[in-house]
Structure 1
Amino acid sequence: MTERTSTQASGSAAEARALAYLQAQGLRLIAQNWRCRRGELDLVMLHADTVVFVEVRYRRHAAWGGAMESVDARKREKLTLAATQFLQQTPRWARQPCRFDVIALSGAADNDLNWIQNAFDT
């Protein structure tokens, strides 16, 4: 397996774990891996009446920084632009309140999952 394929497989597995966790918390999936020229949204979920843009970050170990630390200002800007594009293209959700969450995973165990709600407000 190549490095890229291994990374993609790890990312897909992390997204699947995050999705299952959020659905268990009562969120409903709207879109997954939504792409536009401005970027990609890992998960778009509905939490009550709020549209939640979820960035899933996985780090096998923290030697290069943790999963949460990898969502820097540049990444936040890309996510915001992609979310704006999503809302413009799907007017059904445009009038709903929105927020940005991060699911940070650092290992294979369920206790290594950290859900940060309103991650861009902190």
Structure 2
Amino acid sequence: MIQGSRQQSGRDAESHALRHLQQQGLRLLAQNWLCKRGELDLVMLDGDTVVFVEVRYRQHTQWGGALGSIDGRKRQKLILAAQIFLQKESRWSNHPCRFDVVAIDGAPGAEARLNWLRNAFDS
């Protein structure tokens, strides 16, 4: 039953990230948006900017933590999914876009540390 609890922890982390971003003034456009190429955890609007948010949660940080869990392959999947989103949701296609990561490390609840990294894919 570990898988079920991991899925629940992921959903809880996503809800926590969503609440945090909404408190910062972002507006939810889509959640768990699926296409053949992948999934977008959260699609938000920050002013007129469409923000594709990847939520990463790790209870333990010994292998790089939540932020370290995003590699080049994961970035490419997210970029492809975002391109498909913009094709299917054409009303957003002329808006500026960015990729953010919300990394949550630690035990679920009050002890978890949230790190919101804006423009996470910019070098």
Is the shorter-chain TM-score for this pair beyond 0.5, marking a shared fold? yes
Partner of 1:43: 42
Gaps of 5+ in 2: none
Amino acid at match of 1:82: A
CA contact (8 A) 2:42 2:54 kept: yes
Q: How does 1:43-62 map to 2 (within 5 A)?
A: 43-62=42-61
2:71 matches 1:77: no
Structure ranking higher in helix proportion: 1
Cα 1:43–1:110 change in 2 (3 A) is farther
Partner of 2:97: 98
2:23 matches 1:24: yes
Partner of 1:119: 120
Quick one: distance in 1 between partners of 2:74 and 2:110?
26
Q: Which runs of 4+ in 1 moved over 4 A?
A: none
Amino acid at match of 2:115: N
2:28 matches 1:13: no
- Per the normalisation by structure 1, the TM-score is 0.96
- Note the C-alpha offset of 1:110: 6.7
Amino acid at match of 1:20: R
- Note the C-alpha offset of 1:64: 2.0
- Note the C-alpha offset of 1:96: 0.2
Q: Which moved more, 1:80-89 or 1:104-113?
A: 104-113
Quick one: distance in 2 between partners of 1:66 and 1:114?
11
Q: Percent identity?
A: 63
- Note the C-alpha offset of 1:65: 1.8
Gaps of 5+ in 1: none
* CA deviation string 1:52-86 (max 9, x = no partner): 00000000011222101101100000000000000
Residue correspondences, number? 121
